[in-house]
């Protein structure tokens, strides 16, 4: 399953991401969103494409996200038209989910059999999955810290030969444990 995210549409629909450009620079908002998507992508196997308007919104070719295709629309297209073009050119559009609140995009992609998810629903799911991933990583770190940094022999105990050696070291000639 492929996900196509209408980038700015999602950012501006979710207050937690900073929906007002007066509060924050658009590039900061975009990078914050992409960082969250990177964490989400760690948990998901499907292809993730985020489409942003290329014109007038700080078109940055430096926007990179691990495992995510970040697309800035061309000069002659806006993000809406870019998403429509991707869907119509897809070999299997029924395997595409589009994340948007734009009714025009929704109507268009549904004609091709795409599923459409509202930004807030996607964001809640994304946050839940990221929190689950972080919790499992924390558990993994605790487990690794307890056992992974120690030699396996600490948990298995000494071999019979090692035990005999240490008994000889600590026993005096009379067969009693030495006090020093």
pTM of the entire structure? 0.69
| pLDDT at residue 18, rounded to an integer | 64
Does residue 147 form part of some domain?
no
> What is the per-residue pLDDT across 103-126, written as a single tens digit (0 to 9) for each?
999 999 999 999 999 999 999 988
Q: What CATH number does the domain containing 6 carry?
A: 3.40.50.1010
109 assigned to some structural domain: yes
Q: What's the pLDDT score for residue 61?
A: 45
Enter the tokens of residue 50: 């985020």
How long is the chain?
A: 180
Cβ partners under 8 Å of residue 37, min gap 6: 5, 48, 50, 65, 68, 126
pLDDT at residue 130, rounded to an integer: 79
In this predicted structure, the answer to whether residue 177 has a pLDDT above a threshold of 80 is no
Mean of the per-residue pLDDT values for the chain?
A: 79
pLDDT at 62: 45
Residue 101 lies in a domain: yes
Share of the chain above pLDDT 90, in %: 34
* 149 within a domain of the structure (yes/no): no
Please choose, from the candidates 69, 70, 65, the residue with its C-alpha nearest in 3D space to the C-alpha of residue 36. Answer: 65
Number of domains composing the chain: 1
Q: For residues 98 and 117, what is the distance between their CA atoms, to the nearest angstrom?
A: 6
Asked if residue 178 is part of any domain, the answer here is no
Cα–Cα nearest to 10, from 107, 86, 79, 82: 79
Q: What is the per-residue pLDDT for 26?
A: 79
**What pLDDT score was predicted for residue 59?**
46
Return d(Cα 18, Cα 14) in angstroms, integer.
7
Q: How confident is the model at residue 166 (pLDDT cuts 50, 70, 90)?
A: confident
Q: Is there a domain that residue 74 lies in? A: yes
Residue 87 in this model has a pLDDT that exceeds 80: yes
User: Residue 15: which domain range?
Assistant: 2-125
* Euclidean distance between CA atoms 133 and 89, whole angstroms: 34
Model pLDDT for residues 10-69, shown as the tens digit of each residue: 998 887 776 555 556 778 888 888 988 988 887 777 899 999 987 545 444 445 567 889
- Which 3 state secondary structure label does DSSP give 71? strand
**Does some domain include residue 163?**
no
Instruction: Go through 87-121 and write b for each residue having 16 or more CB atoms within 10 A of its CB, e for each that does not.
Output: beebeebeebbbbbbbeebbebbeeeebebbebee
* Whether the predicted pLDDT of 148 surpasses 60: no
């Amino acid at each position: 399953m492929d996900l196509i995210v209408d980038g700015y549409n999602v950012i501006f629909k979710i207050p937690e991401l900073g929906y007002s450009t007066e509060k924050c620079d658009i590039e900061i908002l975009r990078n914050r969103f992409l960082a969250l998507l990177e964490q989400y992508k760690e948990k998901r196997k499907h292809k993730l494409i985020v489409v942003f308007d290329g014109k007038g919104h700080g078109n940055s070719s430096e926007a990179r996200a691990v495992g995510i295709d970040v697309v800035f629309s061309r000069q002659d297209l806006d993000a809406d038209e870019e998403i429509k073009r991707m869907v119509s050119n897809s070999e299997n559009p029924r395997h595409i989910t589009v994340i948007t609140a734009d009714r025009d995009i929704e109507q268009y992609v549904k004609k091709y059999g795409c599923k459409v998810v509202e930004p807030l629903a996607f964001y809640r799911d994304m946050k839940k999955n990221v929190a689950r991933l972080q919790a499992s990583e924390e558990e993994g770190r605790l487990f690794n810290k307890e056992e992974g940094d120690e030699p396996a022999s600490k948990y298995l105990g000494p071999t019979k030969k090692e035990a005999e050696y240490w008994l000889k070291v600590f026993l005096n000639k009379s067969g009693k444990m030495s006090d020093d």
